[in-house]
Amino acid sequence: MGPLQLRALAGYGERVRRFGVNFAVCDANGELVLLSSGGAFESRAEQLTELSHQALHQNNGENANGDRSTPVWRFGEENVVLAAALTSAHDRDISGEAAGVVLIDLGGDPGDAHSGEPANADTAYWMEMLRLLVENFQASTKADEQIEMVGSELAQTYEELVLLHKLSTNMRVTERDANFLQMACDSLTEIIPVEGIAILLEKPVENGQHLTVAAGRGLIDMSEQTAAVLHSRLAEEIGCGAEALLDSEVDSAFKYDWPDNIRNIMAVPLCGMDKAESHLGDKTRDGTRIIGLMVAINRVEKQDFDSIDAKLFNSVANSCAVFIENGRLFGDLKELFIGSLKALTSSIDAKDQYTRGHSERVAFISRWIAERLAEKEPLEEEQLHRIYLAGLLHDIGKIGVDESVLRKEGRLTDEEFDCIKKHPSIGAGILREIKQMRDIVPGVLCHHERIDGRGYPDGLVGEQIPLIGKIVGLADSFDAMTSKRTYRDAMTVDQAVAEIERGLGSQFDEQIGRIFLDSDVCRLWEILQGGPGFAETYENKSFAEYGTVAVGTLIL
489: left (phi over 0), alpha (psi -120 to 50) or beta: beta
* CATH level 2 (architecture), domain 350-555: Orthogonal Bundle (1.10)
Banded model confidence at residue 411, pLDDT cuts 50, 70, 90? confident
The mean pLDDT value for 429-446 works out to: 89
pLDDT higher than 90, residue 272: no
- Residue 490 DSSP one-character state: P
Q: Residues 184, 199: contact at Cβ < 8 Å?
A: yes
Amino acid at 62: E
How far apart, in whole angstroms, are the C-alpha atoms of residue 276 and residue 141?
59
Range of lowest pLDDT (308-312, 439-443, 455-459): 308-312
Look at residue 112 in the predicted model and tell me its pLDDT: 43
Confidence of residue 506 (pLDDT cuts 50, 70, 90): very high
| Residue 246 β-bridge partners | 266
pLDDT at 92: 44
Among 359, 371, 385, 364, residue whose Cα is nearest residue 515: 371
Confidence category of residue 147, pLDDT binned at 50, 70, 90: confident
Task: Specify the higher pLDDT residue, 59 or 427.
Answer: 427
Average pLDDT over residues 233-254: 89
- Percentage of residues in the chain having pLDDT higher than 90: 33
Between the alpha carbon of residue 522 and those of residues 374, 425, 474, 525, 530, the distances in Å are 20, 33, 16, 5, 13
**Cross-strand bridge partners of residue 211:** 202
Query: What's the pLDDT tens digit per position in 444-497?
Result: 999 999 999 999 999 999 999 999 999 999 999 999 999 877 667 889 999 999
The pLDDT value given to residue 540: 40
Confidence at residue 354, expressed as pLDDT on a 0 to 100 scale = 59
Using pLDDT thresholds of 50, 70 and 90, give the confidence band for residue 530. Answer: confident
Distance CA(461)–CA(330), nearest Å, equals 41
- Tell which phi-psi region holds residue 197, choosing left (phi > 0), alpha (psi between -120 and 50) or beta: beta
Predicted local distance difference test score (pLDDT) of residue 115: 41
pTM score, whole prediction: 0.56
Q: Can you give the pLDDT at residue 90?
A: 45
**DSSP code of 314?**
H
Q: 3-state DSSP call for residue 118?
A: coil
pLDDT at 343 over 60: yes
Higher pLDDT, 111 or 36: 36
At 552, is the pLDDT very low, low, confident or very high (cuts 50, 70, 90)?
low
Of residues 540 and 128, the one with the higher pLDDT is: 128
**Listing from the earlier edge strand, what are the strands of the sheet with 264-272?**
208-218, 194-205, 289-299, 264-272, 245-248
The one-letter amino acid at 494: D
| Tens-digit pLDDT profile for residues 90-139 | 444 444 568 899 999 988 644 443 344 444 447 888 998 898 998 888 88
| Residue 146 pLDDT level (bands cut at 50, 70, 90) | confident
The whole-angstrom distance between residue 194's C-alpha and the CA centroid of its chain comes to: 18
Which one of 164-168, 176-180, 214-218, 442-446 scores highest in mean pLDDT?
442-446
| Per-position DSSP letters for 390-440, written without gaps between them | HHHHTTGGGGGS-HHHHT--SPPPHHHHHHHTTHHHHHHHHHHTSGGGGGG
Which H or E run contains 467? helix 467-481
How large a percentage of the chain has pLDDT more than 70? 83
Please tell me the least confidently modeled range out of 140-144, 232-236, 396-400: 140-144
Phi-psi region of 11 (alpha: psi -120 to 50; beta: other; left: phi over 0): alpha
- Looking at the domain that runs over 170-327, which CATH code has it been given? 3.30.450.40
- Let me know: does 200 contact 222? Beta carbons within 8 Å: yes
Decide: 142 and 89 in contact? Cβ < 8 Å: yes
- Is residue 436's pLDDT more than 90? no
Query: Which is nearest to 295 in space by CA: 305, 285, 287?
Result: 305
**Residue 108 pairs with which residues in a beta bridge?**
none
The per-residue pLDDT for 433 is: 83
Strand partners, 84: 102
> Of the candidates 521, 518, 483, 525, which has an alpha carbon nearest to the alpha carbon of residue 504?
518
More confident residue, 421 or 488: 421
Q: What is the average pLDDT across 503-512? A: 96
Predicted pLDDT of residue 94: 40
Q: What's the start-to-end Cα distance of the chain, in Å?
A: 60
Alpha helices by DSSP H, listed for 17-44, are none
Residue 161's contacts (CB-CB under 8 Å, 6 or more residues apart) are: none
Q: Taking the domains of the chain in order of start, what are their residue ranges?
A: 3-143, 170-327, 350-555
Q: What single DSSP character describes residue 178? A: H
Q: One fold for both 3-143 and 170-327?
A: yes
Q: Which SS3 state, helix, strand or coil, does residue 80 take?
A: strand
Topology of the domain comprising 3-143: Beta-Lactamase (3.30.450)
- Residue 87: pLDDT band with limits 50, 70, 90: confident
